[in-house]
Amino acid sequence: MTSQRIIEIQKVVKLEENYRSTPEILEAANAVIANNPQNFDKRLWTSKDSGSRIKLVSLATESEEGRYIVETIESNVAEKQFRVQGLYSSL
């Protein structure tokens, strides 16, 4: 037997300030959030300075994607442009 309880929401607390991501990342995240009909209305923001532009790369296979990521990281390390946090993401 399955029992269901209805929980009344007393107050919605939106956690919109982001302390780690740059405005460019949050702009992309806000575009995704805006297209989610089941989400509360929210707008992520940060007081951090602007960062690098987001680069969208579309590759045919997961193997190509993996190679591209590794080569990009290796290149940035060689050029001393590597930062450990928040530089790369693969979806």
Per-residue pLDDT tens for 17-36? 999 999 999 999 999 999 88
Q: Would you say 34 and 62 are in contact if contact means Cβ atoms under 8 Å apart?
A: no
CA dist 21 → 38, 58, 89 (Å): 24, 23, 12
Q: What is the pTM of this model?
A: 0.61
- The torsion region of residue 54 among left (phi > 0), alpha (psi -120 to 50) and beta comes to beta
- pLDDT recorded at residue 13: 84
Residues 46, 23: Cα–Cα separation, whole Å: 6
- How would you class 26 by CB atoms within 10 Å of its CB: exposed for 0-12, middle for 13-18, buried for 19 or more? buried
